[in-house]
Structure 1
Amino acid sequence: MHTHLQTAAPTPVAYGPDGTPYYAAPPAPAPLALYQPVTGLPAPAAQHRPATLTAYLPEPMDVPGRDPWPARLLAGGVALGAGGIGLSFLLQALAAATTGLGLLAAVLALVWLLKNGSGSGGGRGGAVNVHVNVTNRNR
């Protein structure tokens, strides 16, 4: 049994003057050339620069008297409120879980007591054989 594998023709490789390999597909429309940026032209940003440059620069926050204490108080209040709500949800879930576990333990204890009896179960403890032999020695 022979398997005939078809292999693709090797891609022609051209090397540049510095030794960089250039791989070309077999139907190359034109020879590959190295990109060389055009020098001597002014940069595009320099041609379209506006005559006057105006920009709004906010005052730095380090200036005394510019402390945004109301914003910090509001952010702290929002953070405390959100933390309180999250803590309340956590405690509510914990209480529900412990209640469920307590009820489950009570049901299991009741089932165990009903199955095994508590000692004075009114005859539920099983069969008891009693043999009484009375003799009177004063006869």
Structure 2
Amino acid sequence: MNTTNPQAYAAPVLYTPDGTPYYATAPAAAPLALYQPPAPLPVPLQHPGPALAYLPAQHTPVPLPTPVPVRDPWPARLLAGGIGVGAGGLGLGFLLQTLAAATTGLGLLVAALGVLYLLKNSGGAGGRAGQGAVNVSVNVTNRNR
């Protein structure tokens, strides 16, 4: 059985001066302040004119810091290269698989069209049967007589 005071865990309700409630989980370190919108921006200065706008700024060059030599990250480059080679191989495999499927489909289409052409033009019984009557003329001469 819980013997602690159940009201100790409730978040206290505090109110702003205008009566708006807000809930705090811990006592505020300082009294809350109302939101004050930021002051308006100052009026921008007038443009000095085209003659002064294009004059180069006068400054002294700042020397660049010397680069610090760093270690060559060869393990990272090897890993990146291996991932790149693997991804390229996977992509090439997908490309070849797609090409094989496309050529197989085209081959089956050509075969089906060829079978349809043969069925249409052969009459179904093979040879030239069903093409109609054929005139045959045979002349045989025997030279040994």
Normalising by structure 1, what TM-score? Answer: 0.45
User: TM-score by structure 2 length?
Assistant: 0.43
